[in-house]
Amino acid sequence: MKSGFTAIIGRPNVGKSTMLNAILGEKVAITADKPQTTRNRIRGIYNEDGECQIVFLDTPGITRPKNKLGEYMRAAALDSLADVDAALFVTDQALPEKGGDNYIIERLRKADAPIILAINKIDRIGPDEYKQAYESFESLGMFADILGTEAVSGKNVPELVTALKKHMPEGPQFFPAGITTDLSERFLVSEMIREKMLHYLRDEVPHGVAVEIEKFAEKDNITHISAVIYTEKKSHKGIIIGKDGRKLKGIGKSAREDVEKLLAQKVFLELWVKVKDNWRDSDFMLGSLGYKDQ
Ligand SMILES: Nc1nc2c(ncn2[C@@H]2O[C@H](COP(=O)(O)OP(=O)(O)OP(=O)(O)O)[C@@H](O)[C@H]2O)c(=O)[nH]1
Ligand SMILES: [Mg+2]
């Protein structure tokens, strides 16, 4: 069978995680209309019954790091280019001349793997602008294929998979068919909670939070989950909790609904907010929250 690895690379907020979910037809990666949503390498496994398996590595958007967490994220993205069979470069930039992608383009030039370009969010640009963008990226002469995509609706996503399949070598089935990710339920739950924070909170607040699952236990057909939300500032803690605790309640309710779907079981979710000064620059905290070499 054809099997191999593909890294999904691009600037923050271009739609990489939305693309992974669209490819898999299942949500394994959280998404938000905010940059720097993804913090870890997220493995998503695409299966075609015994014929093809593509292991996708969704990565944090590449940008200049502002703290140790940012450095970890950047390394998680760039290191994913080693030992992959293909790279899927996602952009939402209509024209490469705009320059935002320059650094990534230079890094991709040095990669050995063939590169497929997805010009995503084509719903936001007109046909002329798309044509111009296509020609402009094509003139760089570094892409094996270029496709215009709309990850939110799934438009051209099957075509993208077909283009990637061509570059997968003959190989073993790395993961059992039927599983779409090897991430633990604990990790997925912590991400679901973080996603709701990104949806409910603004500005710097959601970027400064981390979620740690403290308890995850099943009793009488109910999964009891207790999670700690770390924030860097006391003032942020107040914002997260909200007036009469309403904000946190909303976050908890929305997260619980997603977690119940994931686990196909009733869930009792408890959230606690704790202040941890500068955790994004603390090696110890980053390590204990799972932001370490993977
Ligand atoms: N209009 C439009 N929006 C899209 C499309 N694809 C993704 N989005 C939106 O773009 C935003 C960012 O999507 P993500 O998938 O979280 O982006 P990302 O590249 O993974 O971002 P980071 O994890 O921060 O690097 C979300 O609000 C998506 O709904 C698209 O084709 N069209
Ligand atoms: Mg992402």
Tokens standing for residue 196:
């709701």
Q: Inter-axis angle of helices 185-200 and 246-263, to 10 degrees?
A: 140
Structure pTM? 0.97
Ligand 1, atom 27, residue with closest C-alpha: 33
Across-strand partners of 7?
A: 57, 87
Question: Ligand 1 in contact with 218 (CB < 6 A)?
Answer: no
CB 220 within 8 A of CB 65: no
pLDDT of residue 219: 96
Beta strands in the chain (DSSP E): 2-9, 42-48, 52-58, 86-91, 115-119, 145-148, 210-219, 222-231, 266-275
| Close Cβ partners of 109 (under 8 Å, ≥ 6 residues apart) | 142
Question: Ligand 1 in contact with 31 (CB < 6 A)?
Answer: yes
* Closest to 53 measured CA to CA, from 185, 188, 182: 182
Would you report the helix, strand and coil content of the chain in percent, each value rounded to 5? 40, 25, 35
* Closest to 62 measured CA to CA, from 97, 36, 41, 85: 36
pLDDT of residue 293: 74
Question: Ligand 1 in contact with 17 (CB < 6 A)?
Answer: yes
pLDDT, tens digit, 9 for 90 and up, residues 146-171: 999 999 999 999 999 999 999 999 99
Ligand 1, atom 30, residue with closest C-alpha: 121
CB 209 within 8 A of CB 230: yes
pLDDT of residue 127: 93
Q: Which domains does the chain have, with CATH numbers?
A: 2-165 (3.40.50.300), 185-288 (3.30.300.20)
